[in-house]
Amino acid sequence: MDLPADAAVAESDIRRLDPRPAPTKDPAAVPVTVVGPDKLGEFVDALRGSAARAVDTETVYQPRVAGSRGQVPQLRVISAATRAPDGTECAWVVDVARHDGPELATALHDGLRVPDLASDAWNATFDDRVIDTHLMEPAEAAGAAVGSLRWWDAQLADALLHQGLTGFGFFHGLAWAAERYLGLSVEGKATTQLSYSADAPLSDHQVAYAAADAVETLWVSEVLRDRLRETRLEEVCRLELAARPFLDRMERAGLPFDVQGWEAELAGLAARRVEVLTHLADLTGGGQADLFGGGVEPNWNPDSEQQARDVLNRFAADRVEAWTAKTDRHARPLAPTDSLGASVLAGIGGELCTALLAYRDLSKTLSTYGHTMAEHLWSDGRLHPEYLQVVGTNTGRLASRNPNAQNFTPRLKPYMKPPPGRVFVYSDLSQAELRFATQLAGDEGLRAAFERGHDIHSATAERMFGVQMDGPAGLGALDRPRYEEFRTKAKRINFGILYGQRGAGLSRGLTDAGVPTSRDEAGALIEAYLGAYPGIAQWVDERDRYIGHFAATSLDADWPLTLQLHALWPRTDDARRALRKQQRRHHSAEEVHEAVLAAERAAAIDAGRFAQGGEIDLRDIDVAEVAWALSFAAPVVVRSDGSPLSFSSRTPAGRRQQFTFSVDWVLGEAAAVVGCSTKPRPDEVWRRVLQRFELAPPTASSGGALRPAVDKVLEQRHVRRAVVDEVGVSMGAADQRFLLQRALHTRVGQMANAYRNAPIQGGVADVMLDAFGRLGEVLAQYRSAVAVQTVHDSVVIECDEHDAAAIASDVKASLEAAMSRWCPDVPTVADTDIRSSLSETSILEAID
């Protein structure tokens, strides 16, 4: 829908926002040498004498076939770009098929392993794995003295610049980077890239393409180093790059998995699920026999929250009303808008809720970790989870996928076990986030408790409640129930305060943990905690005051430009996705621009508004507008210069988490304010939009709340936008701006918890990266040791049993040294043990 006339954005205001630089260099102008056996020495000399160099690989295209999981594509070309000390640049293309493998591996090793000079790459993990698998490892097996190469990964550096931005969730490609940082439109992806065969002679176009990739990587890396310096991200980039080889080798090693044992466990879980379903049927009036499972299924669907609410209201009415009386201060049945999460079921309690929780647990295990785990096995019989640096989370923590090795159910862990004669070394930084928070806040009370080596939750309870917890005269010896109650309260607050927990959340958490606590009591507990630890209190207050100040002084949003981006971005993104689906490559802004115009012409003709071939009066969309829209991963609130409205948080190592504002969220909040308003003009806007889309007016729940029903209507994003646009048309640009500004202010306030926690989670993530870099060097001393898993603040090493004690000592020392570097004023402990599986019940020896 068009913007109001007085809020329109002049085309010139948008066209000036093209983020691409004007290209100043052409990769085709760099001279290319095809490296045959006779040129190998010249190539090595150029590498060894270079002041900067980049390396890229081209592989043989191999369609995905059954049984090929984990197969590394065959190496065909190694290309390099070198810059001599005098600035002269050259490109080199090595046709691997024309060389003796060990000889080429030795030459690369000699040319690239120059001290203190890594090779630039885009996605170094891919290039490293391809070169190792098809060149270095076979050469080593043949007796050549070679090893893995050293890399500087420009793709990781680029990701650090975008960390936290709304919509950014995965790495960019080289073609994207060449356009964004160099202004170059790169062609050939999905044509030249996939056309390399195993042994056919290289064409001139293939040679030029491979050379250009290396040259572009060299130039992009140069720009990125400048950007890292400008944004003070050099140190955290160094940590990421140092950790990358360790994580790469962990992925290659894989995790041993007893698939036969797990399949037997699944059969038992399936049988137990049948028993629970039969019990649910017995509790709710019976059911129908399951012809296949041998049990009875209830006459309602336990997977349906609505049906589960109805059943609870009917068969557990007393418990439901007791729970709602406690949470809402008046007894009532469960309403359609009430959540039925695990904490709610636990709060209601009783046999029916217990059975529902058991059913959900079994169903989740069977669906999430069931027979699909076997699908992730490689030909070596191991799982090889992928770990994502930078793009995995906004805070810097790693994410894992295929499968997610950071979220294994406890039932699965006993089946993650090494073969006979080998064990796991497990090491975990104890209470890492709380210790890091103590360092950041400089809280002397918490630091002293860590210094004394006391149970930190017991020590916190002593300060909060003024009681003696430990020792012969303490509650632990004299009144164990009160001891557990006080310690549970202290533990919940110790961790919850870092995530911005308030009275309501603490009340629910403690009540679910078996310590009934009202909201008022929970609020008093938080006040007692902050009084006990004034350093933490001050730090929390400073973080929260920053958010308040930003909300009050810095919301300089350009709403016409923001709404223009919101309208433009889906059109450009849809066109980009359609092109990529057709051709599987990056497309330039010019290509996307043409696709947008073509799609809109086709849509106009299909709608019958224009005859085929006739004149179509579409607003001219400039290439600069498309380039600007494509520079965002999602539509966000922008300033008048076209940049995202944002604020950021830093860790001591310099990691930057950026906070931007989704336009869709802001529109949803603004539209909800209109939908819930009882004032005449907003009410008229709301009714007009509902009529336009033939939507029924939402009604309040039995508890009197209208907002959940309004939010349900606004799940349709076009309705959100229509409401805000209608405000502009009917009420004017000033009211529209006021509404949007109010919604943005609300969103900023909601980010306070994430802002508070960002330097803590991000700081511990930096610590673990530091530890990975150290561990990579430590484990190189042990031939039997391979890393197989990491979860947040822990790492697991598989090794021969006779090496385990020495490796465990070194692993423990590495984690503690990394933590001490970034958290120097607070004692550090890495709880370390030797175990026979991932399960905590399989510990063989604890390491002091």
Spatial contact of 202 and 245, defined as CB atoms under 8 Å apart: no
DSSP 636: B
| SS3 state of residue 349 | coil
Give me the sign of the Cα torsion angle 342, 347, 348, 352: positive
pLDDT level of residue 273 (50, 70, 90 thresholds): very high
pLDDT tens digits, one per residue of 795-805: 999 999 999 99
Same domain, yes or no, for 334 and 293? Answer: yes
Query: Is the residue at 582 inside a domain?
Result: no
Spatial contact of 740 and 728, defined as CB atoms under 8 Å apart: no
Give the amino acid at 7.
A
CA–CA separation, 699 and 694 (whole Å): 16
Length of the chain in terms of residues written:
848
* Domain stops at, among 190, 216, 231: 231
Which pLDDT belongs to residue 196?
87
Give me the sign of the Cα torsion angle 186, 192, 194, 196: negative
3-state secondary structure labels for all residues of 565-614: HHHHHHHHHHHHHHHHHHHCCCCCHHHHHHHHHHHHHHHHHHCCCCCCCC
Query: Is the residue at 245 inside a domain?
Result: no
DSSP 296: E
Tell me the mean pLDDT in the region 688-692.
Answer: 94
Spatial contact of 23 and 208, defined as CB atoms under 8 Å apart: no
Same domain, yes or no, for 153 and 53? Answer: yes
Q: Which helix (H) or strand (E) holds 800?
A: strand 794-800
DSSP 803: G
Q: Which helix (H) or strand (E) holds 476?
A: helix 475-478
CA–CA separation, 302 and 355 (whole Å): 10
pLDDT level of residue 512 (50, 70, 90 thresholds): low
pLDDT level of residue 43 (50, 70, 90 thresholds): very high
Same domain, yes or no, for 466 and 427? Answer: no
Query: Is the residue at 461 inside a domain?
Result: yes
CA–CA separation, 487 and 483 (whole Å): 6
Same domain, yes or no, for 287 and 158? Answer: no
Cβ contacts of residue 262 below 8 Å, gap of 6+?
Answer: 373, 374, 412, 415
CB neighbourhood size of 120 (10 A): 26
pLDDT level of residue 5 (50, 70, 90 thresholds): very low
773: tokens are 């870099």
Question: What is the residue-averaged pLDDT of the chain?
Answer: 88
Give the amino acid at 654.
G
pLDDT level of residue 503 (50, 70, 90 thresholds): low
- The residue with greater pLDDT, 374 or 844, is 844
Is the peptide bond prior to 403 cis by the omega test (within 30 degrees of 0)?
Answer: yes
Does position 622 have pLDDT exceeding 60, yes or no? Answer: yes
Which pLDDT belongs to residue 814?
97
Same domain, yes or no, for 223 and 104? Answer: yes
CA distances from 626 to 204, 571, 599, 649 (A): 33, 9, 14, 30
Tell me the mean pLDDT in the region 735-762.
Answer: 93
pLDDT tens digits, one per residue of 89-130: 999 999 999 999 999 999 999 888 776 789 999 999 999 999
Tell me the mean pLDDT in the region 158-181.
Answer: 93
- Reference 631, options 166, 3, 25; nearest CA is 166
Q: Is the pTM of this model over 0.85?
A: yes
Same domain, yes or no, for 502 and 395? Answer: no
- Reference 20, options 182, 220, 172; nearest CA is 182
Query: Is the residue at 611 inside a domain?
Result: no
Instruction: Give Cα 686 to chain centroid, integer Å.
Output: 37
Which pLDDT belongs to residue 11?
47
| SS3 state of residue 76 | strand
CA–CA separation, 214 and 28 (whole Å): 11
Does position 610 have pLDDT exceeding 90, yes or no? Answer: no
The parent domain of residue 306 ranges over: 259-375
652: tokens are 């001591």
pLDDT level of residue 300 (50, 70, 90 thresholds): very high
Query: Is the residue at 139 inside a domain?
Result: yes
Cβ contacts of residue 90 below 8 Å, gap of 6+?
Answer: 30, 31, 32, 33, 46, 81, 82, 84
Query: Is the residue at 205 inside a domain?
Result: yes
| Planar angle of CA 777, 778, 781, nearest 5 degrees | 95
Does position 164 have pLDDT exceeding 80, yes or no? Answer: yes
Does position 789 have pLDDT exceeding 90, yes or no? Answer: yes
CA–CA separation, 338 and 332 (whole Å): 11
Share of the chain above pLDDT 70, in %: 92
Torsion angle of C-alpha atoms 665, 666, 670, 673, degrees rounded to 10: 60
- The residue with greater pLDDT, 15 or 509, is 509
Give me the sign of the Cα torsion angle 581, 587, 591, 593: positive
CB neighbourhood size of 523 (10 A): 16
Q: What is the per-residue burial (b if ≥16 Cβ within 10 Å, else e) of 488-517?
A: bbbbbbbebbbebbebebbbbbbbbbebeb
Same domain, yes or no, for 70 and 209? Answer: yes
Which pLDDT belongs to residue 497?
77
pLDDT level of residue 6 (50, 70, 90 thresholds): very low
CA–CA separation, 507 and 489 (whole Å): 10
Query: Is the residue at 294 inside a domain?
Result: yes
Spatial contact of 75 and 131, defined as CB atoms under 8 Å apart: yes
836: domain CATH number is 3.30.70.370
Q: Which of 309-318, 341-350, 529-538, 614-623 has the highest mean pLDDT?
A: 309-318
Stretch among 351-365, 591-605, 679-693, 765-779 having the lowest mean pLDDT: 591-605
Share of the chain above pLDDT 90, in %: 63
Tell me the mean pLDDT in the region 702-718.
Answer: 85
Does position 9 have pLDDT exceeding 50, yes or no? Answer: no
Cβ contacts of residue 378 below 8 Å, gap of 6+?
Answer: 69, 70, 254, 384
- Residue entry with tokens 């080596």: 453
Same domain, yes or no, for 217 and 281? Answer: no
pLDDT tens digits, one per residue of 67-80: 567 788 999 999 99
Q: How many domains does the chain have?
A: 4
Instruction: Give Cα 445 to chain centroid, integer Å.
Output: 34
Please, which residues bridge with residue 636 across strands? 662
- Residue entry with tokens 């690239």: 112
Same domain, yes or no, for 777 and 811? Answer: yes
- How many helices (H) and strands (E) would you count in the chain? 33, 19
Give the amino acid at 100.
D
| SS3 state of residue 270 | helix
Which pLDDT belongs to residue 4?
37
* Domain stops at, among 192, 214, 231: 231
How do 151-153 and 119-121 pair as beta strands?
parallel
Backbone φ and ψ of 747, nearest 5°: -65, -40
Tell me the mean pLDDT in the region 11-38.
Answer: 84
Spatial contact of 206 and 76, defined as CB atoms under 8 Å apart: no
245: tokens are 């080889």
Which pLDDT belongs to residue 461?
83
Cβ contacts of residue 661 below 8 Å, gap of 6+?
Answer: 166, 636, 637, 644, 645, 646, 744, 747, 748
Ramachandran category for residue 2: left, alpha or beta (phi over 0 → left; psi -120 to 50 → alpha)? beta
Which pLDDT belongs to residue 187?
60
For the chain, the straight-line distance linking the first and the last C-alpha, in angstroms and rounded, comes to 67
pLDDT tens digits, one per residue of 369-427: 887 888 899 989 999 999 999 998 889 999 999 999 998 989 999 999 999 999 999 99
Spatial contact of 366 and 269, defined as CB atoms under 8 Å apart: yes
Which pLDDT belongs to residue 583?
81
Which pLDDT belongs to residue 155?
97
Spatial contact of 277 and 298, defined as CB atoms under 8 Å apart: yes
pLDDT level of residue 702 (50, 70, 90 thresholds): low
Instruction: Give Cα 444 to chain centroid, integer Å.
Output: 34
Which pLDDT belongs to residue 7?
42
Spatial contact of 40 and 104, defined as CB atoms under 8 Å apart: yes
Same domain, yes or no, for 336 and 389? Answer: no
pLDDT tens digits, one per residue of 653-685: 999 999 999 999 999 999 999 999 999 999 999
Question: 443 exposed, middle or buried (CB, 10 Å; 0-12, 13-18, 19+)?
Answer: buried
Q: Which helix (H) or strand (E) holds 828?
A: none
Tell me the mean pLDDT in the region 330-348.
Answer: 84
Give me the sign of the Cα torsion angle 426, 430, 432, 436: negative
Q: Which helix (H) or strand (E) holds 443?
A: none
CA–CA separation, 157 and 154 (whole Å): 5
Which pLDDT belongs to residue 759?
95
80: domain CATH number is 3.30.420.10
* Domain stops at, among 212, 231, 250: 231
CA–CA separation, 297 and 663 (whole Å): 45
Query: Is the residue at 2 inside a domain?
Result: no
748: tokens are 């900023």
Same domain, yes or no, for 413 and 466? Answer: no
CA–CA separation, 648 and 636 (whole Å): 15
pLDDT tens digits, one per residue of 121-131: 999 999 999 99
Does position 606 have pLDDT exceeding 90, yes or no? Answer: no
215: tokens are 């040259």
CA–CA separation, 717 and 703 (whole Å): 27
Same domain, yes or no, for 191 and 227? Answer: yes
pLDDT tens digits, one per residue of 804-816: 999 999 999 999 9
